[in-house]
Copies of this chain bind each other. A is one copy, B any other.
């Protein structure tokens, strides 16, 4: 390791901490909500901001690639002859900020950065706190994933600027703007370029996961898959008076409720026939390692979940249930009269968003078919159902027996002064599965989020020291791989 180079890139990062954070805030100000058609321009704007900075810091071949959906950003620097090539992934789109009234500071940093609809203006009264507080930056996308995308950017900048415009390894950057809506465009792009050489690399770096606990360096080595659907139920042709027709007309909400209530039992066991057939268990070594992780179920229940009890399949630990058991959730439901007050209507229509998280060896198409067949079978008489699919992708487990994982562990040891733990995530990053399948490369999932960062929820945050430790860990990771 060249101590000069190290201290020079790390020093650069340390000297520019405040600017790096200010730049991140600017990126967070863009409401790049990929699921909202009205925000299409904002997702594009986020892509352009990232592309502009890639160009500025020293990347070549910077492209904002148009797609059927939101654009991709590509860039490369391939002049480290004989050194490995990294494919660096992160995403610049974010989840919706709703429910807006539960935020304590504006979800997009500034009060006016997000065009709150007229009827929602009242929610702003709760946004009385500053975005930066208690050493955290609060914003939608702070940790998922703009903050972690910007860690990569600023590690690249520190490496370029402290070493005469050179990186210690070859780097391809591929960032997307559709991660929160299924990532169709990147999937297509990777498939198309799997054999063109455009994405040729030795490994992928993915910064979209979290530390198992504060100050505990963590590599994520497994992800659940996801099948996300929407069930629409129709009963009578129009809404009917419940006095006149109650007792004779089918009720779309009841129909939908009957269906959804039969999807899993009180214990969280999914009732779709064959749902668990292909489930592959974790190895005994993995299970033993999980038992050694610092995890306090009572603390988790209180501080993170905030409920009276935890739920889920009996006989499995919380970690096992959330990382390695498939689950089914309903994310939203709506039907009938939902304004304040009372209306005695038998609703004609209702819909629910339902998803399943998959574990290794479950096939997403197979599960969707089993689910659709079952929904059809349990649809009560008088009700018609149709199922829309929003996204689907399988689970994956990554191999860690390679120089890239070893370099990541070494880099984080230097920065955190602690041994790395290997965890899985209950979430889904379909691109990791695809890198494995189409590009035949392992992914290094080096994430700096914290378990209480409120991903996908109000008051999402990123712990500012973790932002900086992430930059330094990535700097060292590349330097180690480059032999420095």
Residues of A within 8 A of B (CB): 35-37, 95-96, 98-99, 102, 117-119, 180-182, 224, 226, 228, 235-251, 253-254, 257-258, 260-261, 264, 266, 268, 300, 304-313, 316, 318, 321-322, 325, 327-347, 350, 352-353, 355, 357, 380-382, 384, 390-391, 425-428, 451, 454-459
Q: How many whole Å from A367's CB to the nearest CB in chain B?
A: 15
Among B318, B328, B340, point to the contact of A248 (Cβ < 8 A): B318
Closest to A324 in B: B247
Which residue in chain B gives the minimum CB-CB distance to A336? B332
A117 to B117, CA, bound (A): 11
> Which single member of B264, B266, B316, B344 contacts A456 (CB below 8 Å)?
B344
The residue in chain B whose Cβ has the minimal distance to the Cβ of A389 is B342
Given the complex, which residues of B lie within 8 Å of A99, measured CB to CB?
A: 239
A340 contacts B37, CB within 8 Å? Answer: yes
The 8 Å CB contact of A307, one of B180, B239, B249, B310, is B249
From B247, B248, B346, give the contact of A331 (CB < 8 A): B346
In the complex, chain B residues whose CB is within 8 Å of the CB of A102:
238-239
Contact check, B98 vs A241: say whether CB atoms are below 8 A apart: no
Task: Judge whether B346 and A244 touch: CB under 8 Å.
Answer: no
Contact A339 B381 (CB under 8 A): no
Q: Is there an interface contact between A96 and B247, defined as CB atoms closer than 8 Å?
A: no
In the complex the two chains form, is A343's CB within 8 Å of B318's CB?
Answer: no
B322 adjacent to A337 (CB under 8 Å): no
Find the B residue at minimum CB distance from A312. B247
CA distance A479 to B98 in the complex (A): 63
Complex: chain B residue closest to A334, CB-CB: B338
User: What are the 3 A-B residue pairs with the smallest beta carbon separation, nearest first?
Assistant: A243-B427, A237-B306, A35-B341
**5 A–B contacts, CB within 8 A, in A order:** A180-B343, A240-B456, A242-B456, A248-B318, A333-B333
